[in-house]
Structure 1
Amino acid sequence: MSKKDSFLVNRLKSVGYAFKGAILLLKTEASIKIQFFIAIIVTILGFILNISTSEWIVQCLAIGMVMSIEGINTAIEAIADFMHPEYHKKIGLIKDIAAGAVFIASIFAIIIGFIIYLPKIFNIRLPLG
């Protein structure tokens, strides 16, 4: 019987696995590459337009939400394809629902982007605050 790793060693291993997964997503998934590119663009835009701390927080949450849900969607698709490689109506439904979650997160991220950037780009005041 081997000695069990300490709590800290296990946490470090977990972080390593998570980092590996994030890199794998960025290297292999077209959707996440596009989302990452958009995240870089809006981050640069945030510096150029000097968005507020609150706007940075909301923007980072929106980026994290979309990219995280995309990762979960990718994992669901991989599991579904592994379990049932040929087309199956129920697997198709599961994959559509997971993709729908990414779509919903993306729509709300776009709305957040409009709320943050449209007033700055067009020098207008939105009736939100």
Structure 2
Amino acid sequence: MSGFFIDRVKSIKYAVKGFFLLLTTENSIITQTTIALVFTGMGLYFKIDRVDWALQFLAIGLVLSIESLNTAIEKVCDFVHPDYHQKIGFIKDIASGAVTFAVLTALAIALLIYAPYFLG
């Protein structure tokens, strides 16, 4: 039983380490975190309601999560085949496309939340 708890603590330690590695080394994550902070500031400024906060945080989490997975896929691809390879490029493009879906979803949510404040 105690092994179970020790393993969970180790898992949390690795997750926190990965979290900080992403935040301190990956430009796309740093950029998207900065954008997330800007939108959090906008939410505070416009005093958005609880549902809008929930949608905004879901959108931010979606983008950062998918971008993190994309980064992991790219790192594995680069490790497996450091030189250019057409199939590796295809895999990386698909992973990047997943980020695009997440970003477009987040943009739609941002428009739904903030357009009324800017349009009148």
TM range (shorter): over 0.9
Q: Which residue of 1 aligns with 2:54?
A: 57
The answer to whether residue 18 in structure 2 is matched with residue 21 in structure 1 is: yes
**Secondary structure at 1:113's aligned position in 2?**
helix
Q: Deviations over 1:78-113 (max 9, x none)?
A: 000101111110000000000010011001101110
Distance (whole Å) between structure 2 residues aligned to residue 31 and residue 5 of structure 1: 39
**Secondary structure at 2:90's aligned position in 1?**
helix
Distance (whole Å) between structure 2 residues aligned to residue 62 and residue 6 of structure 1: 36
- By relative contact order (CA 8 Å, sep 6+), the higher-ranking structure is 2
Unaligned stretches of 5+ in structure 2? none
Distance (whole Å) between structure 1 residues aligned to residue 38 and residue 102 of structure 2: 18
Unaligned stretches of 5+ in structure 1? 124-129
RMSD, aligned α-carbons:
1.2
Distance (whole Å) between structure 2 residues aligned to residue 44 and residue 106 of structure 1: 19
**Secondary structure at 1:48's aligned position in 2?**
helix
Which residue identity is paired with 2:24? Answer: K
- Aligned residue-pair number: 120
Structure number with higher helix proportion: 2
The answer to whether residue 35 in structure 2 is matched with residue 38 in structure 1 is: yes
Distance (whole Å) between structure 2 residues aligned to residue 98 and residue 46 of structure 1: 30
**Whose Rg is larger?**
1
The answer to whether residue 81 in structure 2 is matched with residue 84 in structure 1 is: yes
Percent identical: 49
The answer to whether residue 98 in structure 2 is matched with residue 119 in structure 1 is: no
Q: Which residue of 1 aligns with 2:101?
A: 104
Which residue identity is paired with 1:100? Answer: G
Shift of 1:12: 1.4
Query: If the length of structure 2 is used for normalisation, what is the TM-score?
Result: 0.95
Shift of 1:13: 1.1
Match of 2:91 among 74, 94, 99: 94
Q: 1:81 to 1:5 in 2, by over 3 A?
A: farther
Distance (whole Å) between structure 2 residues aligned to residue 7 and residue 45 of structure 1: 42
